[in-house]
Amino acid sequence: MRIAPPRLVLAASAFFFLGIFSLPPEGYFTLPVILSSPPPPRYFFTPSPRPLVKASFEESLSARSWLVMDVKSGTVLAGKNINVSFPPASLTKIATAIVALNHYSLDEVLTVDKEYPVGRTMGLQKGERIKVIDLLAGLLIHSANDAAYVLAAHFPGGEKAFVGEMNSLVQRMGLKRTVFENFDGEEAIRHYTTAFEIARLARRLLRFPIARELVILPQKTVWSVDGKISHQLETTNQLLPVLGENRGLKTGWTNQAKECFVGYFEIFSSPFSPGREILTVVLGSDDRFGETVKLLRWVKNNVVWRDYSENHSLEIAGTKATKL
């Protein structure tokens, strides 16, 4: 009699004990149906809810250009002149912050080589040594031009190379209607952006957790590394203390640019629903905060998010208008 090779016996035993055979209640063995491939899972992924607009925005605004964008999808929900270029004033510092965050470590210490008394400042002193994270706080909370200067001056190649990197950033992002001549938003002939493209830059900034942490702060005190010099920073965002949905972002103003504001909001339809993140942009406004509130009110009353999960439910962004 021919004996099976030991390897074959072991393989058959393993085949048996690993459950290829099943034992039904009747007490005898049957071979299961073996599929050529396993059935697909019920869901491979859950798509993000998509915003749907129930009614268009009809109110008149003084802003030369304005926009409302869903942060998650990048969908433009409403807007006017969103691809027309205008001066951004200190909204420029959104790009300044991105370049600085890409280049420096937060704990890196920079030395102030000179005072920079241009526009709004945090009062940095010549010879002061201060951490990058505190300069970013000055930049994003206080809109400090001297913080922008120090970050640009220490970049390899100096201020000119820093501004060059800001322009390289927008080119890499495919933003064709944005050009920067400086790092702080002072008026210049070839210094402009659009509502759509500055919203794109704001979305990029929000990828950095530290940026989210800073733009939501109404105030903060930062110190030189030796603890001898303090700087009291206060937000320029007047909506932050009065609107619970506001998560900050950036203001800007010059005579030419007029009032500018990028607002970042998280809207909840109920205490148990996930928040929906919204960006608003107003450029060249006579009332940036009041007009932003109008845009936010419209979103809460007229935008819904279609949920493509199991129930295919509709979630309404909100029901009450926000008032100052």
For the chain, what percent of residues have pLDDT higher than 90? 71
* pLDDT score, position 323: 34
Average pLDDT over residues 96-105: 98
Banded model confidence at residue 190, pLDDT cuts 50, 70, 90: very high
For the segment 285-302, the average pLDDT, to the nearest whole number, is 95
CB atoms within 10 A of CB 223: 14
Residues paired with 305 in a beta bridge: 51, 315
Tell me the Ramachandran region of residue 48: left when phi exceeds 0, alpha when psi lies from -120 to 50, beta otherwise. Answer: beta
If we measure between CA atoms, which residue out of 83, 90, 70, 216 comes closest to residue 145?
A: 90
pTM of the model: 0.80
Determine the Cα–Cα distance for residues 314 and 296; give it in Å rounded to an integer: 19
Beta bridge partners of 253: 259
How does the average pLDDT of the chain come out, rounded? 85
DSSP state string for 246-296:
EEEEEEEEETTTEEEEEEEEEE-SSTTSPPEEEEEEEEEESSHHHHHHHHH
| Residue 217 CB-half CA count within 13 A | 21
Instruction: Give the 3-state secondary structure of 117-132.
Output: CCCCCCCCCCCCEEEH
Mean pLDDT (whole number) for 192-197: 98
φ, ψ (nearest 5 deg) of residue 95: -70, -35
Residue pLDDT, tens place only, 21-63: 444 444 433 344 444 444 454 444 445 678 888 888 989 999 9
Averaged pLDDT, 284-295: 97
Q: How far is CA 308 from the centre of its chain?
A: 23
- CA proximity to 259, closest of 231, 279, 243, 237: 237
Q: Does domain 50-316 have CATH number 3.30.420.130?
A: no
Among the listed ranges 77-86, 245-254, 267-276, 293-302, which one has the minimum average pLDDT value? Answer: 267-276
pLDDT band of residue 251 (cuts 50, 70, 90) is: very high
pLDDT score, position 268: 81
Tell me: the pLDDT tens digits for 106-155? 999 999 999 999 999 999 999 999 999 999 999 999 999 999 999 999 99
Q: Alpha-carbon Rg of the chain, whole angstroms?
A: 28
How many whole angstroms separate alpha carbon 199 and alpha carbon 88? 12
Show me where the domains of the chain are located: 50-316
